[in-house]
Structure 1
Amino acid sequence: MNRPHYILLPVSPIFIAFSLFCAFLLNLLPWGQFVGVPDFVALLLVFWGVHQPRKVGIGTAFFLGLMMDVHDSTLLGENALAYTLLSYFAIMLHRRVLWFPIWTQAIHVFPLLVMAQTVQLLVRFCVSGKTPGWFYFVESMIAVVLWPVVTWMLLAPQRRAVDRDHTRPI
């Protein structure tokens, strides 16, 4: 509880769009044969839903979900539904999550990511009747481990300079 709370600069909407575009590009890479590659778009939707709920909302999540549905050639709306629910619950919890240290934030994010994967799993099960197994949820665990790195990287442009100017009041 004694950690300092820094005043962050306002985030640029261009930076948010660029980070979501980079996450989308990371999801486009052919990593399908590897087990445990996290869903970067889902991770960034949770991050921006927690840190900037007024700038990244459910509409953005729905659009990115449709884009991922087209790319993955899955049932149209599968990722869109999961991302929309993920964004809704991230926005709903954003005030609570920000009060905690970074690893406790990651623990709060974990059920959100598992819920999104469960929604995708249920849709796939209703359509095909097949389940991928328990290794399917390793993606959420790896995304939670990446949460501190993603937080550090995406909040870095908003932090004020370390060398303070003593003529400014803040």
Structure 2
Amino acid sequence: MSATSLKPVYLSLLVALLMQILPWSGSLLTIRPEFLLLTVLYWTLRAPHLCNIGTAWFAGLMMDLASGGLFGQFALAYSAASFFAVSYQRRLALFNIWQQAGYVFLLLLLSQVITLVLKLFSGGELPGWQYFLPSVSGILLWQFVTFSRLRIDSRSDQA
């Protein structure tokens, strides 16, 4: 594993962290996808030898520090989602893109449920249904990236 193969992984994780901590407000804050988790899941599914559960845990810790919330909640949620992503990574290659999107959607929901449970245990209030909108916007972003990648791959195959 060379340093040049790690550059796109960690550069994209840094960009995702920056996107996550941008000063979002209003309805954009409500629907903001988990950019960092989506990036971790992408690299965990695409290159598990470069991005693994440890990377997800570290990215979660960075998100914990950036959010200022309960320390460890994102680390636990990201590493659990990454664990299930790695566990079924080989089988997921046999799925079509809609089935893969459904699985990624479940991973996003799992992460949100874990953070919700931890927030409730620490004395937080039960949020409304809008709490789960980032999973919906996240899967829409996932599909956009997946279709864009397929379109680019098909163009390179035709050339």
Q: Match of 1:77?
A: 72
Sequence identity (%) = 38
Matched, 1:133 2:128: yes
Deviation string 1:16-53 (CA, Å, 9 cap, x unpaired) is 11111111110010125321110001111111111111
Q: Match of 1:97?
A: 92
Distance in 2 separating the partners of 1:27 and 1:38: 8
> 1:150, CA displacement in angstroms?
2.5
Q: Greater shift after overlay, 37-46 or 27-36?
A: 27-36
Name the structure, 1 or 2, with higher relative contact order (CA <8 Å, separation 6+). Answer: 1
Distance in 1 separating the partners of 2:53 and 2:154: 27
> 1:148, CA displacement in angstroms?
2.4
Q: Match of 2:42?
A: 47
Match of 1:27 among 7, 20, 28: 20
Change (3 A) 1:17 1:66: same
Q: Match of 1:119?
A: 114
Distance in 1 separating the partners of 2:136 and 2:17: 20
Normalising by structure 1, what TM-score?
Answer: 0.81
Question: Going by fraction, where is helix more abundant, 1 or 2?
Answer: 2
- Helix, strand or coil for the counterpart of 1:128? coil
Query: Please, which runs of 5 or more residues in structure 1 have no aligned partner?
Result: 1-10, 165-170
Q: Aligned-residue CA RMSD in angstroms? A: 2.3
Q: Greater shift after overlay, 99-108 or 114-123?
A: 99-108
Aligned residues: 154
Matched, 1:12 2:5: yes
Distance in 1 separating the partners of 2:145 and 2:158: 24
Matched AA of 2:13: L
8 Å CA contact retained: 1:125, 1:131: yes
Q: Match of 2:52?
A: 57
